[in-house]
Chain A
Amino acid sequence: MIQLEQVTKKFMNKAALKNVDIELTKGKIIGLVGENGSGKSTTLKLIAGLTKPTKGTITINGVQVSRLANQVSYLSELDEYYRFYNVGQTIDFYASQFADFNHEKAEEIRAFMNLDRSAKLKHLSKGNRGRLKMVLTLSRNVPVILMDEPLSGLDPMVRESIVKGLISFIDLEHQVVLITTHEIKELEAILDEVVLIQGGNILGHKNVEQLRLEENMGIVEWMTKVSG
């Protein structure tokens, strides 16, 4: 479904990704893990079409990724929003921007996340802004969902609601979810696969249950072994 072939991305003359090959298939939740600055966010932005590769090709279902990015729903690590909107207006605004936005589903997720339509964004807690980002990201009918650090900086209760929201509202028959994260413990029970990236290189790509079954190893142990 998503394919990166020999992808290199340079910023000035520093390579953030070096000849990266990744193939991701639908129906899976995949964790992209690695240290800060390893190239995780760059990989997501490339797949989202927000930045172009210096070299190599990125395709989604065989079609080269472009700025159009109509195949991708992207949850940014940044906390950007229109402060003067309320929750309902933000959802309506997204609906007006994306033809594939499912308004009904958005309302369902909003209710699940216990967000009040009339709450002003500037008064929302950080946790509720994190929940709202989930509503906006998961409400689009697209084959690819990308999430950059969806749990980062959020307290345990919020993290749990985000994880449960993900489980109940993704459509694993048609979608693939790629998540970058530092919070491996919290996500490890929901990941099908894990990709480890370090210094712009892919160090490994594993099926997580297989890793546990065949090597008696959790994700963290594997990461330590592979990068050590």
Chain B
Amino acid sequence: MTDMFQSSQPIYSQLADRIKKQILRGELKPGDKLPSVREMGMQASVNPNTVQRTYRELEGMRIVETKRGQGTFVTENEESLLLMREKLKEEEISEFVRSMHELGYADAEIETGLQAYLNNSGEVGKE
């Protein structure tokens, strides 16, 4: 279980990323209740203190809301969720561009390459 996390990055943020992706994929929907801190710790084999920090972090980004005595829920605020979606896109792109630059590709090459790839695989990824 533990090898689902990278040992050199904070686990609380890796877990937060995992939850954000679950929301984007629709596995968690607005208003859904997240597992309790302990349950989540069990599922992910992570220290409950770390889960607590993950929930606090997500709360700070207004992605989840904690209701007293009831638990933690995915926000129903569309604006916050759209913002999260945008941010995640930027992060993924910057990661991709960084590794392309590392391999020595120029911006123009990346752009045409990406365009060509998207055109070819159009049937697969199209909405």
Contact = CB atoms under 8 A, between A and B. Distances in A.
B11 A167 contact: no
A172 interface: yes
30 contacts: A27-B49, A28-B49, A29-B49, A160-B45, A163-B1, A163-B45, A167-B38, A167-B41, A168-B38, A185-B2, A185-B3, A185-B7, A189-B1, A189-B45, A189-B46, A189-B50, A190-B45, A190-B46, A191-B47, A192-B49, A209-B10, A209-B11, A209-B12, A209-B50, A212-B7, A212-B8, A216-B9, A217-B8, A218-B8, A221-B8
Contacts of A27: 49
A221 B8 CA distance: 8
Interface string B1-41: 11101111111100000000000000000000000001001
Given A164-B42, A185-B3, A190 B47 contact: yes
B49 A189 contact: no
Interface in B42-87: 42, 44-50, 53
A194 B49 CA distance: 15
B13 to A, nearest CB: 8
Interface residues of A, number: 26
A107 interface: no
A189 B11 contact: yes
B47 A167 contact: yes
A188 B7 contact: yes
A221 B9 CA distance: 12
Contacts of B45: 160, 163-164, 167, 189-190
B47 A29 contact: yes
Contacts of B3: 185
Interface residues of B, number: 22
Nearest to B38: A168
Interface of A: 27-29, 160, 163-164, 167-168, 172, 185-192, 209, 212-213, 216-221
B11 A172 contact: no
A189 B5 CA distance: 8
Given A167-B48, A168-B38, A209-B12, 13 more contacts: A28-B49, A29-B49, A160-B1, A163-B45, A164-B42, A164-B45, A167-B41, A167-B42, A167-B46, A189-B5, A189-B11, A190-B47, A212-B8
Contacts of A167: 38, 41-42, 45-48
